[in-house]
Amino acid sequence: MALLKRPNGTRDTLPSETSEWQALEGFLCETAHINGFHEIRIPTFEHTDLFARGVGETTDVVQKEMYTFEIGKHSYTLRPEGTAGVVRAVLENGLLNEALPLKLFYILSCFRHEAVQHGRQREFHQFGVEMAGSSSPAADAEVIGLANQILTEAGVGNASLRINSIGCPTCRKQYSEALRNYFAPHTAELCATCHDRMERNPMRLLDCKEAKCKVIAKDAPSILEYLCDDCKAHFAQLKHNLELLNISYTVDSRIVRGLDYYTKTVFEFIVPDGDGELTVCGGGRYDGLVEELGGNPTPALGFGMGLERLLATLHDQGITLSEPDPCCLYIVPMGEKAADMAMKLTNQLRKEGSAAQTDVMGRSLRAQMKYADRIGARFTMVIGDNELENGEAVLKNMKTGEKITMKLGDDFVDRFCDIEIADRLAAEE
RNA sequence: GUGGGUAUAGCGUAGCUGGUCAAACGCGUCAGUUUGUGGCACUGAAGAUCGUCGGUUCGAAUCCGACUAUCCACCCCA
């Protein structure tokens, strides 16, 4: 029978990798908490309508990348991102009635059916935060500041922040009109996708990678010239706040973001990747989304951070977050009586929280020592007839080769734990 | 979705002008080098229908086609 393989674009996280994920997730939770964000967990799938309305009908994500399935009369979709579901949960559970601003974070997997390649999977993991209730640029700065803190403290030394404002519905409408007017004379030269963009979302015209379109887009008007007074002031204040926080940034008026719900501030953190660059974190303000999903008008903002991309970036820089914890004591029994003793001792050690192991393969002493070395056991101890008779055994430090004679009495476990802790401390220095 | 590259044991590779290839090498795994201490070395073993299906041929890992997977570019995004 042929081996079944995992679906394209998914990944197995192996035992050698999970400790790093655990470390990363722990670090993210802790940093979020320090910043006053609390975790929320939401379903893996939602009603399809939620994403159609929340993410936007015109987006690529909704139009061609969603995992949608029908059960009975209902249509469900695996979440392609976190924000829509979180906002839905906030409204459904009345969280906006609690002290504002509401500050939430999440770690979850997202699903998008798109072409798989480097830095892009069909199931991937995101850390994200959402903050609701504040329309102040101070909130924008706080959210961007959190992303910045995470990247910096994780050790990403080469991330750069780009910000832009895409205005509110009022100024965006005017800007879209201006763009259409600008591109209209060039319609014939534009690529097919851009014709589509003219209709649906003119701001994407700026983002086209076609050489021809790029040339035309180069001199297109900038959104920043079309911002209304309110949006202009908001953006100016955000820049001031970022400077206050000592966060360097560049303004990039071509940042558009692929999800329809953004208003005013949009931003992304970018890291070099081969010849190009990769967005490791993207987000912005979405003042219209809560109302769009049926709540009272409430300003909000957030970001999503791609965890696979973040880990890959760290690895590129030679950073490993955590190594798996090895076995601390491997007990080598010789003979049946010794095996009984080893099993009991191992069990006692484990009850005290010590990662002890012993033979379950019936191996020779030599083979057991090899195995202990292979799994990185820090100590080994041989128990045979002599030891059972004398009530003493030799504890061997596998790294230094140092040997300590230990009494096998009731307090063995306690004494071993002391030695193990001392060894661990010595290793750290 | 469009275009291109790749596809050989758990991993990394060699072989690819078709016939000593019922496939080799390194790492890893297992056993052993005389039942009392691992790393090194040595010996041996297990493990591959050469991605899948079909075609050309007396004969295909080797040539051709389709499919699938994977990588890259575009699109888009975390």
Average pLDDT, chain A: 89
Query: What value does the mean pLDDT take over residues A260-268?
Result: 87
Nucleotide B75 C1' to residue A213 CA (A): 14
Q: What is the pLDDT confidence band of residue A315, given thresholds at 50, 70 and 90?
A: confident
pLDDT of residue A417 exceeding 80, the answer is yes
Query: For the purposes of burial, counting CB atoms within 10 Å of the CB of A150, is it exposed (0-12), middle (13-18) or buried (19 or more)?
Result: buried
Query: What value does the mean pLDDT take over residues A131-150?
Result: 96
pLDDT of residue A2 exceeding 60, the answer is no
DSSP calls for A175-212: HHHHHHHHHGGGGGGS-HHHHHHHHH-GGGGGG---HH
Position A209 scores a pLDDT of 62
Nucleic acid strand B within 7 Å of A192 CB: no
Q: Which nucleotide in the DNA or RNA is closest to residue A257, CA to C1'? A: B77
Nucleotide B41 C1' to residue A370 CA (A): 15
Angle, helices A229-244/A137-154, rounded to nearest 10 degrees = 40
Position A326 scores a pLDDT of 84
Nucleic acid strand B within 7 Å of A15 CB: no
Residue A328 near residue A355 (C-beta atoms within 8 A): yes
CATH 3.30.1490.190 holds for A17-161+262-316 = no
Nucleic acid strand B within 7 Å of A327 CB: no
Least confident of A74-88, A155-169, A194-208, A298-312: A194-208
Nucleotide B22 C1' to residue A201 CA (A): 63
Residue A113 near residue A122 (C-beta atoms within 8 A): yes
Nucleotide B27 C1' to residue A374 CA (A): 14
Percentage of residues in chain A with pLDDT exceeding 70? 95
Position A3 scores a pLDDT of 63
Domain boundaries in chain A? 17-161+262-316, 329-422
Nucleic acid strand B within 7 Å of A63 CB: no
This prediction's pTM: 0.89
Each residue of A290-305: pLDDT tens digit? 999 999 999 999 999 9
Q: What is the pLDDT confidence band of residue A1, given thresholds at 50, 70 and 90?
A: very low
Q: Which residue is nearest to nucleotide B73 (CA to C1')?
A: A117
Each residue of A176-218: pLDDT tens digit? 888 888 888 877 777 666 776 777 677 777 766 666 777 777 7
Nucleotide B31 C1' to residue A128 CA (A): 51
Quote the CA–CA distance of A416 and A21 in Å, as a whole number.
Answer: 30
Tell me, what amino acid is at A325?
A: D
Q: A362 CB contacts (<8 Å, ≥6 apart)? A: none
Sheet architecture: strand order including A276-285: A38-39, A102-111, A123-132, A300-306, A276-285, A263-273, A160-165, A250-251
Nucleic acid strand B within 7 Å of A79 CB: no
Kind of pairing between the strands at A38-39 and A102-111: parallel
Nucleotide B27 C1' to residue A305 CA (A): 36
pLDDT of residue A51 exceeding 70, the answer is yes
Nucleotide B13 C1' to residue A59 CA (A): 44
Q: Which nucleotide in the DNA or RNA is closest to residue A126, CA to C1'? A: B78
Position A117 scores a pLDDT of 84
Quote the CA–CA distance of A287 and A284 in Å, as a whole number.
Answer: 10
- Top CATH class of A329-422 equals alpha beta
Continuous segment of H or E residues that includes residue A78: strand A74-78
Residue A395 near residue A345 (C-beta atoms within 8 A): no
CA A412-A416-A421 angle, to 5 degrees, is 155
In the numeric block, which tokens belong to residue A381?
């101890």
Position A217 scores a pLDDT of 76
